[in-house]
């Protein structure tokens, strides 16, 4: 019998997210706000390039010489760019097969047909793509491609294989940096300007969709400023949308313009229809890459406010600006004098489009910097000086938001402990017969046929045992179940 911890999650407080992680309400529902729709000017973004040494900045001139004409064929462009595109194989141990835990944007090489519930699984292998940033083997890819892996193998266009080491990774923009061990003299990609892209511009993706290495597909920029699309919790991503074919395994690969410059990092496959692919704008990546290279993480600015979008009256154009929903005491926003109901219209003289725009631009501002916030307060124009703070951890944000909203942090606010599953007691065994969607049992990953062993450390064998065990801790639920020949553990905690 084997024992493995399959999931450990913290239940987020919706109010905490609203207050501090840039969520807003639309029609009563919480919706993730995007990174700002308009990046900084190209010159300011390029200045992040550590003195011009970390990547090669394009000028818009084609990287392919001669009489190259993209209207006739993209073959010369593919030939020129492919050597800078890599295939990434990410290996991670997985002691027990749990298909729900596999990221759908990764391609799992697991025999799903000869393995029943609870069967031992071989080490999991995922596949992704990336591109070479520096000749000594610095590679850009997606966070979700390398997250949680124990070993990376990176294959070049010519078949050479290198071991890879993750230097840094940022889940909020899904960007990661990998260093190839012992690499030198590699062909590098040229980075372009995603801000200058227009809807309708031709683009080309190269990657390993479904594991098919060095696959080139072409399409157009279908849209810009798509936000996180709900694919990433608390994300700062502001996707480019393209109809260039992108599939699992393409993640982390480059999206090129017709000059051969990287303008996006292919990341997500649309789940609502065919012909929808998404990429992180390269101008956004340029603000993240230097920090990942220097320290392995990204430090973001913070004000400490919630925001709300106000629907305009019928027939009226929406007003530009970010409406402040609430201000937490002791935060940079409170010290600057911001108030609930204020509409922030500009930062340092540059117009703010909406709350997501404000959130993204504050996040990109170095903590300790001072900014001038132009505010419309009941029709009166006010300028406030704010000293940007450092974005706290998610747990710190949730604790602060609960204090602001007077929340207890309990999993059972009505005082009635419920698991959300139908169980049957028979022969001293408590067996799960059904799981209610969205319940604690569902969050814990319980399945029909699971035999409950313990809840919050207490043995359970009768239905009445469940409520008493849940009541022992109203901020945490930890369960152990027997599934097939294995024992599984899972936990949800909110403090």
Distances from the Cα of 269 to the Cαs of 243, 252, 488, in angstroms?
A: 10, 12, 31
Rounded Cα distance, 77 and 85, in Å: 13
Q: What are the phi and psi torsion angles at 33 (to 5°)?
A: -85, 150
In the DSSP assignment, the letter for residue 213 is T
* Strand-pair category, 486-493 with 2-10: parallel
Rounded Cα distance, 71 and 333, in Å: 52
Q: What are the phi and psi torsion angles at 441 (to 5°)?
A: -60, -40
What is the number of H-type helices and E-type strands within the chain? 10, 31
- On the 0-12 / 13-18 / 19+ scale of CB atoms within 10 A, 152 is buried
Asked if 89 and 151 touch (Cβ cutoff 8 Å), the reply is no
Q: Please identify which of the residues 208, 251, 306, 400 carries the catalytic annotation.
A: 251
Asked if 187 and 132 touch (Cβ cutoff 8 Å), the reply is yes
Q: Please identify which of the residues 36, 98, 129, 144 carries the catalytic annotation.
A: 144
Q: Please identify which of the residues 13, 129, 169, 174 carries the catalytic annotation.
A: 174
Rounded Cα distance, 307 and 105, in Å: 31
251 is catalytic: yes
Instruction: Name the β-bridge partners of 434.
Output: 422
Token digits for 254? 């480059």
Rounded Cα distance, 281 and 136, in Å: 24
Q: What are the phi and psi torsion angles at 140 (to 5°)?
A: -100, 135
How far the first Cα of the chain sits from its last, in Å, is: 33
Q: What angle do CA 397, 398, 402 make, to 5 degrees?
A: 120
Question: Which residues are identified as catalytic?
Answer: 144, 174, 251
């Amino acid at each position: 019998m084997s024992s493995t911890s399959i999931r450990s999650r913290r239940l987020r407080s919706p109010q905490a997210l609203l207050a501090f992680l840039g969520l807003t309400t639309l029609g009563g529902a919480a919706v993730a706000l995007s990174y700002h729709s308009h990046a900084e000017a190209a010159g300011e973004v390029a200045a992040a390039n550590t003195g011009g040494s970390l990547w090669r900045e394009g000028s818009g001139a084609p990287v392919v010489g001669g009489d190259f004409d993209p209207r006739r064929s993209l073959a010369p462009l593919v030939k020129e760019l492919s050597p800078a595109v890599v295939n990434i194989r990410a290996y991670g141990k997985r002691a027990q097969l749990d298909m729900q835990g596999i990221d759908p944007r990764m391609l799992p090489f697991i025999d799903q047909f000869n393995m029943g519930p609870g069967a031992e699984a071989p080490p999991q292998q995922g596949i992704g793509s990336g591109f070479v940033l520096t000749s000594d083997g610095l590679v850009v890819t997606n966070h979700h491609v390398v997250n949680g892996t124990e070993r990376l193998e990176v294959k070049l266009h010519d078949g050479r294989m290198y071991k890879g080491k993750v230097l840094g990774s940022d889940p909020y923009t899904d960007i990661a940096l990998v260093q190839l061990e012992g690499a030198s003299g590699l062909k590098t990609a040229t980075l372009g300007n995603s801000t200058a892209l227009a809807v309708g511009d031709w683009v080309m993706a190269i990657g390993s969709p479904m594991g098919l290495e060095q696959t080139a597909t072409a399409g157009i920029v279908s849209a810009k400023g798509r936000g996180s699309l709900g694919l990433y919790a608390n994300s700062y991503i502001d996707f480019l949308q393209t109809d260039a074919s992108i599939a699992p395994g393409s993640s982390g690969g480059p999206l090129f313009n017709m000059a051969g410059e990287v303008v996006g990092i292919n990341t997500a496959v649309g789940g609502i229809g065919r012909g929808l692919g998404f990429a992180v704008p390269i101008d956004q990546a340029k603000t993240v890459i230097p920090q990942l290279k220097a320290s392995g993480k990204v430090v973001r600015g913070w004000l400490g406010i919630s925001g709300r979008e106000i629907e305009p009256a019928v027939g009226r154009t929406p007003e530009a600006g970010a409406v402040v929903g609430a201000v937490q005491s002791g935060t940079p926003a409170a010290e600057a004098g911001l108030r609930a109901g204020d509409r922030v219209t500009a930062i340092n003289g540059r117009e703010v489009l909406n709350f997501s725009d404000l959130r993204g631009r504050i996040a990109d501002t170095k903590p300790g910097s001072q900014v001038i916030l132009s505010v419309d307060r009941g029709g009166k124009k006010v300028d406030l000086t704010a000293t940007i703070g450092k974005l706290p951890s998610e747990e710190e944000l949730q604790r602060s938001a609960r204090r602001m909203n007077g929340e207890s942090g309990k999993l059972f606010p009505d005082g009635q402990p419920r698991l959300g599953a139908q169980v049957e007691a028979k022969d001293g065994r408590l067996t799960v017969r059904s799981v209610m969607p969205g319940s604690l049992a569902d969050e814990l990953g319980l399945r029909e046929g699971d035999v409950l062993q313990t809840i919050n450390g207490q043995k359970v064998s009768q239905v009445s045992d469940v409520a008493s065990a849940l009541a022992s801790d109203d901020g945490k639920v930890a369960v152990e179940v027997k599934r097939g020949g294995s024992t599984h553990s899972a936990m949800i905690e909110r403090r």
